[in-house]
Amino acid sequence: MGRAAAHAFAAAHGCRVALLARNEVALAAAAAEVQAAGGTALVVPVDVADAAAVEAAATLVEDELGPIDVWVNAAMATVLAPVDDLSAEELQRTTDVTYLGTAHGSMAALRRMRERDRGTIVQVGSTLAYRAIPFQAAYCGAKFAVRGFTESLRAELLREGSGVHVTEVHLSAINTPHFVVCRSRQGFRSRPVPPTFTPEVAAAGVVWAATHRRRELWVGYPAVVGILASRLLPGGIGDRVLAWRGVELQLTHAAVLPDRPDNLFGPVPFDPGTTGPGVGRTWGWSGQLWLSAHRRAVGAAAGGALAALARLRRHP
């Protein structure tokens, strides 16, 4: 998803894009794609779980590309397994990358943006930051933590009247290569819970959020349904639905060897590309995202239509 966002920033705005990740093979390929899309790319191999390395990376980025206007936190790592089959090391690593990696990136960006009183930090979240599902306790816990961290940071920035903006982009299921390289003990290859969207849909949401001052942006109607349901329905209903279907919806019929390489503690040294193998239809456009991005215009048009209808009823 982060790679698709890099493409989108380059294509839409000709941006100078710094690419931070562990996999140097994939980084080189992503940099070539950014250049081809009209942007400038800087490759910075880094493990975002290392706070000092992230700080050094931010310094290098500003030395090479100039002041950071937008910082996108999209790194994640996880293990798909029931809670009683997780090791302490796996839980720690998932938290270090997915939660603390976001915190490290946010803090490094903030140290630079606050001095200039401008800039935007984009946290790539998920429906799973609001409604946790079985076999993903490590990831869901980290995403819940990111949301709490971000809400605290947002309140602090508002208190001081800062020009720095922080926003969250909560995604529906996205078809990325994550499901090919993540650690899993499910026995079968995992998949995003359908209906799924292409990484380009998520990237469009990230670019829009980075250039507009929206507190949160939900991408895809399943995110809207999932988040609103988590707020409005009793928790027990969601628990029972997920106990009934929450595991099966994550699985394909393709068996996975238990010793296949995964990227939890280190990168798998190949280029997985941007899009995952997917199962079934993957949507390349989201009407919900379009409506959300244009909600003021849509609301004004709807209000005008209702006013015109009312006039017609008064003056047949």
Domains and CATH numbers, the chain: 2-285 (3.40.50.720)
Q: Provide the residue-wise pLDDT of the chain in tens; the chain has 316 residues.
A: 999 999 999 998 899 999 999 999 999 999 999 999 999 999 999 999 999 999 999 999 999 999 999 999 999 999 999 999 999 999 999 999 999 999 999 999 999 999 999 999 999 999 999 999 999 999 999 999 999 999 999 999 999 999 999 999 999 999 999 888 999 888 787 888 888 999 999 999 999 999 999 999 999 999 999 999 999 988 889 889 888 888 888 887 777 777 789 999 999 999 999 998 877 778 999 999 999 998 877 766 666 665 666 766 666 5
Q: For 100, which DSSP code? A: I
- The residue to which tokens 């699985």 are assigned: 251
Q: For 134, which DSSP code? A: T
Strand partners for 173? 196
Q: 164-200: per-residue pLDDT in tens? A: 999 999 999 999 998 889 998 887 878 888 889 999 9
Rounded Cα distance between 182 and 189, Å, is: 10
Distances in Å between the Cα of 277 and the Cα atoms of 5, 35, 189, 281 are 19, 25, 10, 11
> pTM value?
0.93
Task: List the Cα angle 263/266/272 in 5-degree steps.
Answer: 45
Q: 73-120: per-residue pLDDT in tens? A: 999 999 999 999 999 999 999 999 999 999 999 999 999 999 999 999
Backbone angles phi, psi at 173, to 5 degrees: -70, 130
Neighbours of 147 (CB within 10 A): 18
